[in-house]
Amino acid sequence: MQPSSEVSPPPGWHTGADAEVAPRGLRALCSPTTLTGGLTELAWVGAHVLMYPLGTRMEALRPDPRRRTGNQPAAVRALFAADPLAARVPVLLVHGLVDNRSVFALTRRSLRKRGFTSVCSWNYSPLLTDITLAATALGQQIERICEQTGHDRVHVVGHSLGGLIARYHVQRQGGDERVDSLITLGTPHQGSVLAHVLPTPLVRQLRPGSPVLRELEEPAPGCRTRLTAVYSDLDQVVLPTRSGRCDHPDLGARNVLVRGVGHMSLPIHRGVLDEVATTLAGAGQQDAGRRHIAAVA
């Protein structure tokens, strides 16, 4: 992955020298990457609507003790070469707003195919009104998984609001004792201006500068969870797209920029899934304290 800078939103139409910027913005919107990403987003949203009813039931964690990393394909063995036991650390997937575990259908399959033996999703209440309450419930779910599997720590992958719920638990409720790695996909770490559209209690917490987001800006010294924030320049929900970054000075998050991937497509994009698997396998540990932006092909 090569270093890259974030793509700025297309500017408005101006006169003079600024007028030259507008055509560049239009060309960016009409680029093959953007068009492909937009079509993929539309197709996945349609498929996800059909799959949604199948994800309403809570998923039980079903570890497969028969699987051994040494018996896996070469690509799987290479992924866990540095730490073969990493394949057995439970992975918990947390969905976003007005969603359920069906959004992770391909994510679960991908992680299991890559050698992770304990992967499950968690559905929180669709009537959720407060991020802090959801974070507490997430902590209880993590404790149940640790008790069931015998592991002291787990990995968490959160999409959209799910990432913010997990971050709150890690940063404000002592969840870093249990959560080894947290990966957020399209999470509004700095809020989203789109949250001004709906006045519901939960959505108000997603507005830039809300009390919950200000609380997450407070110091968090000694946080033990490795955090990776994946965000996209084509996110239609997290606006501005730069709000998907996590720049808290005490968290040392890795910020990974992907280009041309819509908000709902992040959990199914192959490059994003590669990043998730590599990070959870431990390959990113040496970079945990260094914040940077990277582009995933």
**pLDDT tens for residues 89-108?**
999 999 999 889 899 999 99
If one compares 183 and 61, the residue with the highest pLDDT of the two is 183
pLDDT value for 48: 61
Using the Cα atoms of residue 279, residue 281, residue 285 and residue 286 in order, give the sign of their dihedral. Answer: negative
> Strand 254-258 vs strand 91-94: parallel, antiparallel, or unpaired?
unpaired
**pLDDT tens for residues 201-228?**
999 999 999 999 999 999 999 999 999 9
- State both tokens at 45: 């949203």
Q: What is the CA radius of gyration of the chain?
A: 19
How would you label 256-282 residue by residue, b for 16+ Cβ within 10 Å and e otherwise? bbbbbbbbbbbbbbebbbbbbbebbbb
| pLDDT of 7 over the 80 cut | no
Identify the band that residue 275 occupies on the pLDDT scale cut at 50, 70 and 90.
very high
| pLDDT of 69 over the 80 cut | no
| pLDDT of 192 over the 70 cut | yes
Amino acid (1-letter code) at residue 97? L
If one compares 27 and 222, the residue with the highest pLDDT of the two is 222
Query: What is the average per-residue pLDDT within 266-284?
Result: 90
Domain locations in the chain? 16-296
| pLDDT of 16 over the 50 cut | no
**Could you say which of 3.40.50.1260, 3.40.50.1820, 3.30.530.20, 3.40.50.2300 is the CATH number of the domain covering 16-296?**
3.40.50.1820
- State both tokens at 159: 């999409």
| pLDDT of 178 over the 70 cut | yes
- State both tokens at 14: 């101006």
Do the beta carbons of residue 112 and residue 275 sit within 8 Å?
no
Name the range with the highest mean pLDDT among 78-92, 243-257, 269-283: 243-257
Percentage of residues in the chain with pLDDT exceeding 70?
A: 74
Query: Residue for token digits 């908000």?
Result: 263
